[in-house]
Structure 1
Amino acid sequence: MNATVDDPTLRALLTRGDLHLALADDEGLDAGALDRPVRWVHSSDLEDPTPFLSEGLVLLTTGTQFPEASDDPAPYRAYVRRLAARGVVGLGFGTDVVRAGLPPALAEACRAERMPLFEVPYRTPFIAVARANAEAIAAQTYARRSWALAAQRAIALAALRPDGLGATVAELARQLDTWVGMYDAAGELSREHPPDGLDSATAAALRRDVAGVLNRGARAGSSLRIGETPFRLQTMGRGGHLRGVIAIAAGDLDQEGRGVVTAVIAMAGLALEQQQGLSRARGALRAGLVHTLLTDDPALARRIARELWGPLPPAPVTVAVTDAAASRIDAIAELLELRAEERRGSLFFGRGDDGLVIVTPAGDLAPVDELAERFGVRVGMSDPTGYDGFAAAVGQARVARDRGAGPVTAFADVARTGVLSALSDEALSLARAELAPLTAHDAAEGTHLVETLQAWLDNDCSHEASARALGVHRHTVRTRLALAERILGRELSSFATRAELWAALRVLDAD
């Protein structure tokens, strides 16, 4: 991010000529040890001042806490270890107040703990060092607030350009001096600056994380790291109605940086909400065309679609129906809108009575597979059809959706299971009740009436074929069937009775 003043660091203090500070030794210091932020400068001669210190401080001392005329390294080592553990970023020693020069044992202890040690000469008051750091903090705070105001002004002006969202993203990237991307509600990268600013692997990983945030549907901000690059993600829109995500290739932002991002989120969210009104109008028109197609006369739908979105997919087509909940339909529709624009003339969709209806050329499953995988919805697909059979195709797609076991189910696969497999739990209860007298008699008397009845019906009511299947004499089959008639109180010579009993047996077999 833009900076106009030096950050308040130990290096900045050491370079102040008016303070005359001198670094004792930079040997063994960690890289960046002098560039850590200094939150405050404090002075103390306590043997253990750490209960009164906080992380990120520079401590000044005159050394009265150390034994006089003693070079025993133990007290110095223990002292510096305590400071390092507390997070002190530097130690200043006031010379010629109690002791002349820097104690060698203190220098050695600081070297062992990689603690920067510097000399504060007698002519420099400790209060001057503290005041210099306080002035640096105040100057930085003022500079950051001034930057934030200027950045928000520049972003507000960018929002007034023809592509306000794109210009806003670009201005935010320039102000933060990093990559910024805007993802829509379908998880597609719609705008970024600088263009192609991420390598393909990082872009793919980031897209997956953005999709996860959108699928959760909760309004939130989050941080993550992909490889060596930190990212911040911030959702746009209301919880349950997210409009997208802004991704920033940056780690933690300070208060002013967060304020600038919040302003962008607010403006982008407002712009997207305004666009949503147009999206709702388009969605209502698409739904109307779906209802027109259900009349099996595509003439009107063809004319309107051609004017607005391009031609309808050429017949034969496959019709798909989703089970998307109302809260997910907007996000799915946004993805399909993008795909329809990319595949002009080979994808049409609109809301139906109980989900989205999607029309593609027969055999083209790519859009259907994508939305099933991305949104976890179930999709049923019809057999190939012309537009004069559109209503029947929608019915097939609904049956496939409701009866399918996987994310995408074709009606042809469902049809192979037969008509009886589609019967409800009520049919199963009725089948059990129909055969209950025979089942109870078999259980109580050890007979095989149900088995014999099933074999007889499966063998076209032939006593001889049934006997062979059961391994008994044909007279045994006749006797068992006569007993079954008496127990059921029904004539097996009636076709209606045979059909009902056969259906009951098939339903129980399918259970």
Structure 2
Amino acid sequence: MQPTVQTLLDRPELALTLLTPADRLAAGALAAPVTWAHSSDLADPTPFLDAGHVLLTTGTQFEADAGATFADAYVERLRKKGIAALGFGTEVIRAGTPEALVAACDAQGLPLFEVPYPTPFIAIVRTVADLLAEDAYARHTWALAAQRAISLAALRPDGLSATLAELSNRIGAWVGLIDATGALDREAPSGALGQPALGEVVGEARSMLRRGQRASRTLVAGESTGDQHRMTLQTLGGGGALRGVLAIGDSAELDQAGREVVTSVIALAGLALEQNRDLDRARGHLRSGLLRGILAGDTALAERVAAEMWGPLPAAPLRIAVTDAPAEHVDRLIELLELRVDERRGRLFFGRDEDRVVLVLEAGDAAIADELAAEFELPVGVSDPVAADGIARAHEQAMRALERARESGSGVVAFDEISRQGVLAFLARTDARAVALATLAPLAEHDAANGTDLVATTRAWLEHGGQFDATARRLGVHRHTVRSRIALAERLLGRDLSGFHARADLWAALLAVG
């Protein structure tokens, strides 16, 4: 333990006498850590002192006519500097301790002790130095023992959990690991950090993971309920490939020695997660190979291997979901899917397909697609339900749905949303927009120049099957007005819209421009 003012008072060989009544001092004043002892008779020694020092003086600065004003100012300077205590050596320059100094220390809450003539100041300085050296040695020994115990824990079957548990035990604080998906992976002691503090820690960890840069944060969690927990969060892994976040509760053990122990745990945890990452890569290559077989209709081998590694393949009816796998998200994306496979044994399979991820789902379990779109802001395409022999067709549907989802940047698009609009709507949204704009340009330009509604009228007329009366009711105009507008549109377009092909082509153009 680091020496305190009380430690010095309790040393019988020093024979120090406390002059400021202990019950009148602030709570913890005598338990304040002492970082050094220094002697000075300057009227203002504070430029040569630091907080936590004990100042020793023989009182030369207290001249015979120095009264309460001088003493009050002197003590105030010491208190503002953060001096732990003042020791006055008697019978050297003057007999006893000046009453004005005792009164000033008492009034301002600065511990004051008297040093008898037989006790040299060097004895106090040496005592403080010896105690500091003992404390440093004890902390060094503690750190070595803790690091040894943590290293041995890392060799156990579940080395990462054992390492975190040992760290928690050594520092007497809660320790948690948030994985790359932003979920609490493990903690020690289990359940020791309740809500809402745990939710705030996980939320901040997710924010750090999304930024993708190595960082550390200090967070005071649980302030809203008064159950405050000061937490330190540290990312694991390299920038752009973060593997998780280590969260550590506040502890008196987290001095320099304690931080060295934490640093070693961060290194061990990072190593363990990188080893898992290498294993994940190998598993990923295996998944990708099996996926190619599944998409080609050869499921026999995939079923045997998947059953041994992850559980059975999803049962028909099935859906295929496809999403992009950008480099900045791919590690977190794959790790999240691995967790969901464990949760849904037999109801989910996935694999990499170049720069995409393909999921094989049970037809009624499409929630994972929504989760991927929301968590990573990705476009996701989902097929219609198919039988086991329709996987290739479902993959093609999912790819077309993914193309539609990319148009909005992110979100889930199901293939049946496209199929309900018909084949013409799908064809119109591929690469026909420029052609469509050119086709409709005569109508749009006439509307802009003359304030007419030829585009809107033509769209409504086609939607109502070319019926003038129904279109007129829809637009709130007379049917002759609709007839005259369509006739004008025919002249501007140079087309006879009485035939099916002309109407279909114009409808496709309207769909293409939205």
| Number of the residue aligned with 1:3 | none
| Aligned equivalent of 1:298 | 299
- Unaligned 5+ runs, structure 2: 222-226
Residue 230 of structure 2 corresponds to which residue in structure 1? 230
Q: Which of 399, 402, 405 does residue 406 from structure 2 map onto?
A: 402
Residue of structure 1 equivalent to 2:24: 28
Secondary structure at 2:504's aligned position in 1?
helix
CA distance in 2, matches of 1:480, 1:69: 111
Question: Aligned residue for 2:133?
Answer: 138
Say if 1:293 and 1:387, in contact at 8 Å, map to a contact too: no
Q: Distance in 2 between matches of 1:491 and 1:371?
A: 49
Call closer, same or farther: CA 1:338–1:492 in 2, change over 3 Å. closer
Match of 1:287 in 2: 288
Q: Are the aligned partners of 1:223 and 1:232 in contact in 2 as well (CA < 8 Å)? A: yes
Q: Displacement of 1:95 after TM fit?
A: 2.0
Q: Please give the per-residue CA displacement for 1:309-364, whole angstroms capped at 9, x wherever unaligned.
A: 11112222343333342232222222222232233222222223443223333333
For residue 7 of structure 1, what is the amino acid of its counterpart? Q
Q: Aligned residue for 2:3?
A: 8
Q: Is the 8 A contact 2:436 2:512 kept in 1?
A: yes
Question: So what's the TM-score if we normalise by structure 1?
Answer: 0.86
Deviation at 1:268, TM superposition (A): 2.6
Deviates more, 1:329-338 or 1:191-200: 191-200
Which letter does structure 1 place at the counterpart of 2:388? Answer: Y
Structure 1 residue 61 displacement after superposition: 1.6
Distance 1:407 1:106, change over 3 A: farther
Partner of 1:240 in structure 2? 240
Residues 1:172 and 1:258: Cα distance change in structure 2 (over 3 Å): same
User: Which residue is 2:342 aligned to?
Assistant: 341
Query: Does residue 1:194 correspond to 2:189, yes or no?
Result: yes
Matched, 1:86 2:81: yes
- Output the CA distance in 1 between the equivalents of 2:181 and 2:148: 30
Structure 1 counterpart of 2:224? none
Does the Cα contact within 8 Å between 2:171 and 2:251 map onto a contact in 1? no
Deviates more, 1:95-104 or 1:257-266: 95-104
| 2:35 alignment partner in structure 1 | 39
1:97-127 superposed Cα distances (whole Å, 9 cap, x missing partner)? 2333333332222222221111111111112
What 5-or-longer segments of structure 1 have no aligned partner?
1-5
* TM superposition score normalised by structure 2: 0.86
Q: Which moved more, 1:230-239 or 1:451-460?
A: 451-460
- Counterpart of 1:66 (choices 56, 62, 69) is 62
Contact (CA 8 Å) 1:232, 1:251: kept in 2 or not?
no
Instruction: Tell whether the 8 Å contact from 2:468 to 2:479 is kept in structure 1 after alignment.
Output: no
- Name the counterpart of 1:117: 112
Q: Which position in structure 1 is the counterpart of 2:359?
A: 358
Q: Which amino acid aligns with 2:72?
A: R
Say which SS state the counterpart of residue 359 (structure 1) adopts.
Answer: strand
Match of 1:234, SS state, is strand
Q: Distance in 2 between matches of 1:153 and 1:452?
A: 81
Q: Cα distance, 1:146 vs. partner?
A: 2.7
Equivalent residue in structure 2 for 1:48, among 33, 41, 44: 44
Letter in 2 for 1:29: L
The structure-2 alpha-carbon separation of the partners of 1:251 and 1:409, relative to structure 1 and needing over 3 Å to count, comes to farther
Matches within 5 A, 1:154-233: 154-199=149-194, 201-226=196-221, 227-233=227-233
Q: Aligned-residue CA RMSD in angstroms?
A: 3.3
d(CA) in 1 for partners of 2:465 and 2:80? Answer: 91
Give how far 1:307 is off. 2.0
Verify: 1:430 aligned to 2:426, yes or no. no
Distance verdict in 2 for CA 1:48–1:404, change over 3 Å: same
Q: 1:373 to 1:83 in 2, by over 3 A?
A: farther
Asked if 1:153 corresponds to 2:148, the answer is yes
**1:402 alignment partner AA:** R
Deviation at 1:283, TM superposition (A): 0.9
- 2:127 aligned counterpart, secondary structure: helix
Is the 2:288–2:353 Cα contact (8 Å) retained in structure 1? yes
